[in-house]
Structure 1
Amino acid sequence: MRYLIWGCYSGIGFHFVQACLEKGHFVYGVDGLSERKEMMAMFIGRNAHFTHFPEVNTFKQSNHDGLDCLITVYDIEADVPWHQLEEIPATQRVRITSSSKKEPKEGWLTVHMEHYFGPWLSKKPYEITSKDYAIEDLIHSIFTLSEDYQAPDVVSLPNDVSIITSKPIENRKEQLAIHRRKFSSFYK
């Protein structure tokens, strides 16, 4: 499968890229670069299934045959180049936001995410509560939703969908604490 992920070096976007690559999918990532995002790019490395584009127009000028799924990851809707993205042929379109605005967008599955944690995200281990879910578990649920063409237009995770947790939350918190110590300069 071929994915385009707009916001590929944001915390959530990065996790989507990783999940797609682990499944052997081809990923086109669109995101500008900053010092923090360059660090994220190093973790993807030179994966033959990943191609980075600094902006949507650069991707549109490249040779591609269409996409199986186009995913946008954002906090502020005004920052997303919707017009340019909607010109790109894709079988499925998913927009993922942590914004409190839960309005549908025609032709898109909108996933509103809250109560999540994981590596490269801002929530600290001591802030995690029983309402929170590991980003990996939420991403698995989003993949399932995006493959279900009967899914509603707007979904709020974890409220509207049952999330299957792959590891106990205490194990995840411990892993996150280790990660944050190892990469402490990233979280400053």
Structure 2
Amino acid sequence: MTKLVWGCFQWVGFHLIREWLDDGETVIGIDIANTEQKETLEMFVGRNTNFSRVESVEEALNVDAGECIDALIALDDQQHNPPFEKLREISASHYFRVNVDGASRSTQSWTTIELPHVYGPWMTSESTSITEKSVYVSDITPVIKSIVTQPWDTDLIKVGMESNEERNDKCIAPTISLEKGMKMLKDHQKRFPSYYY
């Protein structure tokens, strides 16, 4: 199975592609490694034979993805504005928009996965935005991975601490406490200080 991820070096997208690659999945990433931060992230996956990166939708249209792309995932936040209409030209079984920061965009024929506030290694926003309701990234990625493995008959799946079955919300039970998550984040920042500036 092949996953195509637009914004593969957006930090949540990076966590997703690493997990899929660790699972032995094939991943095609669309992103431009035009910053030191993105170049750093590419170093961690660039030599994996199951990963290939292109810089545009046009390049992705020319990639031989084998039999089929089973899921196209577009990471949507303030720094990444996916070209949804153009991405739909890529043949995929399912199309998912991962709403990372509440950005509201029209995405007809896409299933939106709305995330709570997420934090963790490689995040590019200030850690001052982290609250008791924030969720560590390793608690979110398995939920996203499970969502994209199945078809949905809804255009919105809200991921959070509480579930509303009528709306197909996905309830998560975080395993990383805020105290532990903040310690892990600070340790990561000390280990890779140049990434965080």
Into which bin does the TM-score normalised by the smaller protein fall?
Answer: 0.7 to 0.9
Q: Residue in 2 aligned with 1:161?
A: 170
- Verify: 1:89 aligned to 2:101, yes or no: no
Code of the residue aligned with 1:20 in structure 2: it is W
Q: How large is the Cα RMSD of the aligned pairs? A: 2.3
Deviation at 1:180, TM superposition (A): 0.7
- Verify: 1:117 aligned to 2:119, yes or no: yes
- Cα deviation digits, residues 12-57 of structure 1 (max 9, x gap): 1111111111111100011012122111101113001100111111
Secondary structure in 2 matching 1:69: strand
Q: Residue in 1 aligned with 2:14?
A: 14
- Verify: 1:185 aligned to 2:194, yes or no: yes
Report sequence identity in percent. 28
Secondary structure in 2 matching 1:143: helix
* Residues 1-188 of structure 1: pairs in structure 2 closer than 5 A: 1-34=1-34, 35-64=36-65, 65-76=67-78, 79-102=81-104, 105-123=107-125, 127-150=129-152, 152-158=154-160, 160-188=169-197
Code of the residue aligned with 2:172 in structure 1: it is I
What TM-score does the superposition give when structure 2 sets the normalisation length?
0.84
CA distance in 2, matches of 1:76, 1:124: 14
Secondary structure in 2 matching 1:4: strand
Contact 2:77 2:102 in 1 (8 A): no
CA distance in 2, matches of 1:62, 1:130: 43
CA distance in 2, matches of 1:77, 1:185: 20
- Cα deviation digits, residues 63-85 of structure 1 (max 9, x gap): 22320110001224983222321
Q: Which moved more, 1:24-33 or 1:137-146?
A: 137-146
How many residues align structurally?
188
Code of the residue aligned with 2:53 in structure 1: it is H
CA distance in 2, matches of 1:25, 1:43: 16
Q: For structure 2, which runs of at least 5 residues remain unmatched after alignment?
A: 163-168
Q: Which moved more, 1:138-147 or 1:162-171?
A: 162-171
Secondary structure in 1 matching 2:42: helix
What TM-score does the superposition give when structure 1 sets the normalisation length?
0.88
Deviation at 1:94, TM superposition (A): 0.8
Contact 1:94 1:110 in 2 (8 A): yes
Secondary structure in 1 matching 2:138: helix
Contact 1:94 1:108 in 2 (8 A): yes
